A and B are shown apart, each in its own frame.
Chain A
Amino acid sequence: MFGDEGVTREIMGNVPGWLAAAFYATALAALGWAAWLFWRRLALHRSGRQSCAPPDRRPQWTSLWGYLALHCQLRRDPWAGWAHLLAFYGLVILFIGTCLVFLEHDTPLHFYYGRFYQIASLVIDLGGVAMLAGLAMFACRRTLPIAGAERIYRHWHVVALLALLGAIGVTGFFVEAARIAVDMPEFEKFSAVGYSGAGLLRALGVAGQQAAAWHRVAWGLHAGLCVAFFALLPWKFFAHMALAPVSLVLRRRRPVAALAAVEPPPESGPGVVRWSNFSPLDLLQSDACTTCGRCNAVCPASAAGRPLRPRDVVLSIRDAIDRNGAGPSRFVADDVLWSCTTCGACNHACPVGIDVYDKIVDLRRGRVETGAAPAAAEDAFESIAAEFNPYGRANADRLAWAQGLDVPVAAPGEPIELLYWIGCSGAFSPEGQAVARAMIKILNRLGVDYRVLGAAERCTGDPARRMGEEGLFRQCAARNMATLREHRVQRLLTHCPHCFNAVANEYGDLRESDSAIAGDDAPRDPRPGWSPPAVIHHTEFLAAEVAAGRLGAAGLADQTLTIHDPCYLGRGNGRIAAPRSVASAGPTASRTFATPRPARQARQWWRPPARSARPCWTERGKRAPATVRRG
C-alpha cells in the first residue's frame, strides 16, 4: 500500500532481548507508578470541599483549540509563546511517532514502510528539531536578558524538566544517527537530522559494528531517560503537562470579575481555612500551574511593591497539598492576602485558566470566618452593615450631591422602568459625584423617564464580598433584590463597574432562603411575574444614545482623551467597545486617545513607591512614555 516494503527499518533490531525486555518492564512500571501517583493526587483533589451550589463549570472543549492548539494566550508573550509552541508540538509529534513504532512492532498492524515510513521519518525528525529549538529558546530566556525573563520561576525542577526533555531529544537523534551510520541506506535521507548525524559519525570513523555498538548504548540511555520522564510526570512542574489541559477544559465560564456562587455544606462556613476547604477544581488547578509567572507580571499589587505574587499563592496551595496538613496552617501570609485588589488580571493572564483571585478571595473568606479580618476591613463591614455604605456616612445623605439638580426619587412601591443606581462611590466620593451629576444632566436633557432610589439604595455588598465577607454580601444582595422587586425594576443603569458586576453577574446566585436575611424592614412583595432587571453600564447607555443621534460629543473635539478601562468593566466583563464609541462620537479629525495598554490587558495605575525605579505602567515590558498617542 505504501510502496517498497524494504524501505523501512528493523525496530529494535540491534537491541538485545534483555535490554528490550528491561525497557518494557521499567516503562510499564514507570507508567504504573505515574498513574498511581496521579491517582493519589487526584484523591487529594477530590477530598476538597464540594459546593452545594449548582456547578457553573461545564466542560469547555473548545477552549482547548484556542489555548492549546493555537497557543493564543501563551503567544501574548511572543518569546515564551513560540518556545512553548515549538516544544509542545515537537513533543506531540515525537509521542505520535513513538506510538506508530509501537503499533508496528507490537501489534499485527503493518504500515511502517515505503513512502509512509519516509514521510513519518521526516516529520518525526522535524518534531525533534522543533522540540529542541523550543527548549533552546527556554534556555536562552533563562540566561539572557529577554523580555519576560524577570518573571521566570528559578527552581531546579523546572530546569530538570528542560534538561530531561533536551537529553531525550539529543539521545533520540544520536540513536537514529548511529543506526543509520551502520549501513547508510539512501532512503534514510528523509530522516534529515539522523542522516546528517550519521554522515558525521562516519566522518569520525564510526561505522559498521562500531556504530551498532554505539547505537545499543545510546538506545539504552535514551530508553532510560524516557522511563525517567514517564515516572516523573506527576511530579511538581511536570504535572502541568497532564493537568493543564484538564484545568483549561474545566475552567469557569463566568466573566473574569464575577465570583462563583458560594454554598458551603451546612455544617461549615464559606472560605478556606485549610487546604482541603478548596474545591476539587481549585486544588487541581494549583497542580496545573506552569509557573510561567504571567500572573505576577500583570499584578498591580506586585508592581506597587506589595508582597503579593499570585504565582506564589498558587504554589503555596500546591505545597499545602504536598504537606497534607503538616506545616503552617496559614499557608498564605496575611499581608500577601490582603494586598490583592481583586482586579482579576491574574485570572485573565493565566494561560491554563487558573482562577487565582477566586482562591485569594476564598482564603480571605476563611480569615473572616475565623475572626481574623483586618481592622480596616472590619470597620468597612460594620459600616456596610449599619450605615449601608462602606464610607461610614449616613445613608440618608445619599442624595446630598444632587442639590440643585432635578432628581426624580422613586416613591415607595412605585414601578420603575429605568432605575439609575448611583452606587456608594457616586453618592459619597467627589469623583463619583461628578459623574452622577453629569449623568443626571444628560438623562434630564434627553427626557428619559427614570428614577433614583435615594436613601432606599444601599451598598451592593461588592466590597464586602471582595474582602471575604460573604454573609454580609448576601445580606446586602437580598435586601437590594427585595427593593428592586418592590419597584418591579425593568432596567438598571449604573456607572459603577462594581455595582454593574455585582447585580449583573452575582445577584443571580441568590437563593430563596436568602430573602430571610434581607432584614425585617425589607420590602416584601409577594407578587409573581418579575425577573431581575437588565443591567446597563452608563457607557453602553450613552453609546446607544449617540448611535441613535440623540447625543453628540462636540465638546470633545481637539482633545486628547485617556481611556481607562475599569478592571470590572473591560477585563472583568468585556465591555470595551462602548467607552470608545462614545469617545469617538462627533468630529474626530483631531481627536487622539491615550490608551496605555491594549484594553483587556489594562492594569491599574499605581504609583510605585518613590524609591522604586519602575514606571507607573508598562507596555510589553518597555518603559512607557507619559502619554501614548494613538490616532
Chain B
Amino acid sequence: MRVLALIASDGNRLPRGDRAAAALALAVGEGSATALHLPDDLEAAVYARAAGLATAPWAGRLAAFDALLAGPGAVDRLGDVAVGGLAEEACGSLAFDVLSATRSTDGWLVEADAGRGARVEIAVTGPLVAVLSNDAPRPPYVSHWRRRAARIHDRGRSDAAVPHGDGAAAWGPIVARPPRQASETATAESRTNAAFGIAESPSLDSAVVTGTAAECARILLRYLIDQGFVASAATMEATAESTAADTNPLAARSAAAPAAARAVGASPGELTAAQARAPRTSGDTPSRRGRRPRPLVPASAERQ
C-alpha cells in the first residue's frame, strides 16, 4: 500500500494537523509511508525523518497512491486546489478537516469534523486524499533528540526514491493561496467545492485552474457525473475515449480507468456507484443536506 503524507511547516513549527498527517501515514502505511515536504522546508523533512518516515521533496505531481494525507500547513502553502487536483488526478475522494482514517475491507473509513462539534464518518473506496484537521488527535510527540539525530546524521543524505509518476499531470498553486483564516473558517464542503472550482467561494475568483480544453472538459464532466447531472459511465467513457488521442497524460489516465474496470469484470455502474446518486437540492431534508462530504458508497453503508 502506498501512503503519502504531505506536510509543511510555517517556518518554525509544524502545525498539529501536519504532525497528525505524518503520524497517521506512519500508522496506516505499514512501514512504507513517505512524507513529502516542500523542497525548502528542512523543518518538515527533519520532523518526518525523526518520526520514522521516508521523505521526498514535493515536486507537484505524484504516481498512484492509496492515500495522501495532507496537513493543513501544506495545504496552506499549496492551496486547496492542489489537493483537489491530486484527488482528481487519482480518481480519488477528497475530504477536508479529517480527524482520523482507518483501513476498511474495501477502502477507508474517514472521520471528519463537520463543524459545530459534529463529526461524520465517511466510507471511501479507492484512493483517498485527506486534509487533516488541526483538531485531529494529538500525535505522539517527536522529540528534538530524534530531530537532532535526523538533522545531524541525515545531513547530506539523499532523499528516498521520489514517488512521482512520469506521466502524471503537475499540480501546484497557480495563484497565491487564500489566507489561512479564510480556508479554516470555510466548511469542508465549500472548500471541497472550491477546490473543484464549483462554488461561489470568495477565493474562487483568484483560484484559476489552467489546463487544456480537453482537461477542463473532463473535469467539468466528472463533476457533473459525480453530482448526477449527467448519465454516468457511458458519458465518462465516451469523454475519456474522445480525449484518448490527446497527448495530455491526465486524460490518458482517466481513459484507462473504465477500461480497467471492464478488464476485471466490473460493470461501469459498480465502478461509479457514487455517480448514481441523486443531486442534493435545496429541498432536501436537513439531515440529508447535513451529510458532507457525501459518501462515495451506497447510502446503506453510510453511518452518521
Contact = CB atoms under 8 A, between A and B. Distances in A.
Interface in A331-372: 368-372
Contacts of B155: 516
A464 B152 CA distance: 20
A398 B136 CA distance: 32
Interface in A454-503: 464, 469-472, 474-475
A385 B147 CA distance: 12
Contacts of A270: 145
B138 A471 contact: no
Given A368-B141, A372-B141, A269 B152 contact: no
Contact of B146 (A386, A471, A475, A513): A471
Contacts of B280: none
Contact of B13 (A368, A371, A386, A517): A386
Nearest to B10: A386
A516 B143 contact: no
A272 to B, nearest CB: 14
B275 to A, nearest CB: 42
Contacts of B152: 513, 516-517
Interface in B151-208: 151-152, 155
Contacts of B147: 471
Contacts of A470: 143-145
B140 A385 contact: no
Interface stretch (A207-215, A373-381, A574-582): A373-381
B91 interface: no
B144 A472 contact: yes
Contacts of B109: none
A471 B46 CA distance: 14
B11 to A, nearest CB: 9
Given A385-B12, A385-B13, A471 B148 contact: yes
Contact of A371 (B140, B144, B148, B151): B140
Given A382-B13, A386-B12, A513-B152, A471 B141 contact: no
A473 B224 CA distance: 56
Given A513-B152, A516-B152, A517-B152, A475 B144 contact: yes
B138 A475 contact: no
Which of B140, B141, B145, B152: most chain A CB closer than 10 A?
B145
B151 A517 contact: yes
B271 interface: no
Given A371-B141, A378-B141, A381-B141, A475 B12 contact: no
Nearest to A475: B144
Contact of A517 (B139, B142, B148): B148
Contacts of A372: 140-141
Interface residues of B, number: 17
Contacts of A375: 138
B12 A371 contact: no
Interface string A522-557: 000000000000000000000000000000000000
A568 to B, nearest CB: 23
Contact of A469 (B139, B140, B144): B144
B143 A469 contact: yes
Interface string B8-35: 0000110000000000000000000000
Interface in B258-301: none
Contact of B145 (A373, A385, A471): A471
B12 A368 contact: no
Nearest to A368: B143
A471 B144 contact: yes
Contacts of A385: 12-13, 144
A303 to B, nearest CB: 30
A369 B143 contact: yes
B142 A371 contact: yes
B144 to A, nearest CB: 3
Contacts of A368: 141, 143
A269 B151 contact: no
A369 B149 CA distance: 12
Nearest to B42: A520
Contacts of A378: 138, 141
A625 B257 CA distance: 83
Nearest to A371: B140
Interface in A381-401: 381-382, 385-387
With most chain A CB atoms within 10 A of its CB, the pick from B138, B143, B155 is: B143
Nearest to B144: A471
Nearest to A374: B141
Contacts of A475: 144, 148
Most B C-beta atoms less than 10 A away, residue of A381, A470, A471 = A471
A387 B11 CA distance: 11
Contacts of A471: 143-148
A381 B147 CA distance: 13
A165 to B, nearest CB: 47
19 contacts: A269-B145, A270-B145, A371-B140, A371-B141, A371-B142, A372-B140, A372-B141, A373-B141, A373-B143, A385-B12, A386-B13, A470-B145, A471-B147, A472-B144, A474-B145, A475-B144, A516-B151, A516-B152, A517-B151
Given A378-B138, A517-B151, 16 more contacts: A269-B143, A269-B146, A270-B145, A371-B139, A371-B142, A371-B143, A373-B141, A386-B12, A386-B13, A469-B143, A470-B143, A470-B145, A471-B145, A471-B147, A474-B144, A516-B152
Interface of A: 269-270, 368-373, 375, 378, 381-382, 385-387, 464, 469-472, 474-475, 513, 516-517
- In the complex, the 10 A-B pairs of residues with the closest C-beta atoms, listed nearest first: A371-B140, A471-B145, A471-B144, A386-B12, A472-B144, A386-B13, A373-B141, A371-B141, A471-B148, A517-B148
